[in-house]
Amino acid sequence: MKTSIAICPGSFDPVTYGHLDIIERAANMFDKVIVVVADNAAKNYCFTPKERVEMIKKCIPNLKNVEIEHYSGLLADYAAQHNATAIIKGLRAMSDFEYEFQMALTNKKLNPNVETLFLTTATQNMYLSSSMVKQIAAMNGDISSFVPEVIKQDIIDRIVQKNNTK
Ligand code: PNS
């Protein structure tokens, strides 16, 4: 029988409850899900690729059909190399749509065998983003409702470290 493989790509700088919800839902839909910690050329990351991978691993120790890895090339190539037939993305507000639509069409052009599927984000995660989490942490705000407890201190420590080296 054919194994259905999907990839969940993103920067995950850091992973939030919004991302985790999409990953869990994708894991219920596909035999195997690979969370691809990828690089967005437009972003300056706060966490290294290894740290971003490790934080996701800490958050989902029990999802047996989910693998997590960093990849620095083109997502369309990664999908082809791993026989993935779907790229799963979460859509929050309409503001996400244009950018996501552009990426979906580009990936389809680069790899016609892969479909991008959009999952609507859960309402409580509608306005949640990694940059918000970093901003709140930088101003000593409480990030407990946005990220799991197991990575909360990792985020606070990095933000404090960054503030101290300014
Ligand atoms: O969480 P983000 O920053 O919105 O994720 C964007 C990401 C990392 C998925 C995107 O930039 C990406 O796919 N990068 C890998 C390189 C690539 O394939 N670029 C062309 C995408 S159309």
> Which segments of 28-150 are extended strands (E)?
32-37, 66-70, 86-91, 115-120
In a domain, 45, yes or no: yes
Asked whether residue 115 is domain-assigned, the answer is yes
pLDDT digits 0-9 by tens, 70-122: 999 999 999 999 999 999 999 998 778 999 999 999 999 999 999 999 999 99
Q: Whose CA is nearest to atom 16 of ligand 1?
A: 74
Give the chain's radius of gyration (CA, Å): 16
List, for residues 25-40, the tens digit of each pLDDT value: 999 999 999 999 999 9
Assess if residue 140 is contained within a domain: no
3-class secondary-structure state, position 8? strand
- Residue 152 included in any domain: no
* Separation of alpha carbons 37 and 40, rounded Å: 10
Domain contains 60: yes
Q: Establish if 165 belongs to a structural domain.
A: no
69 lies in a domain?
Answer: yes
**Structural domain for 33, as ranges:** 5-126
- Give the residue numbers annotated as catalytic, written as ranges: 19, 43, 92, 130
pTM above 0.85, yes or no: yes
Question: Considering its fold, how many domains does the chain have in total?
Answer: 1
CATH code (residue 53) = 3.40.50.620
Q: Assess if residue 70 is contained within a domain.
A: yes
> Mind listing the pLDDT tens digit for each residue in 108-163?
999 999 999 999 999 999 989 999 999 999 999 999 999 999 999 999 999 988 88
Q: How far is the CA of 40 from the centre of ligand 1 (A)?
A: 5
Cβ burial, residue 22 (10 Å; 0-12/13-18/19+): buried
Q: Which of 40, 45, 98 to mutate to test the pocket of ligand 1 (most atoms within 8 A of CB)?
A: 40
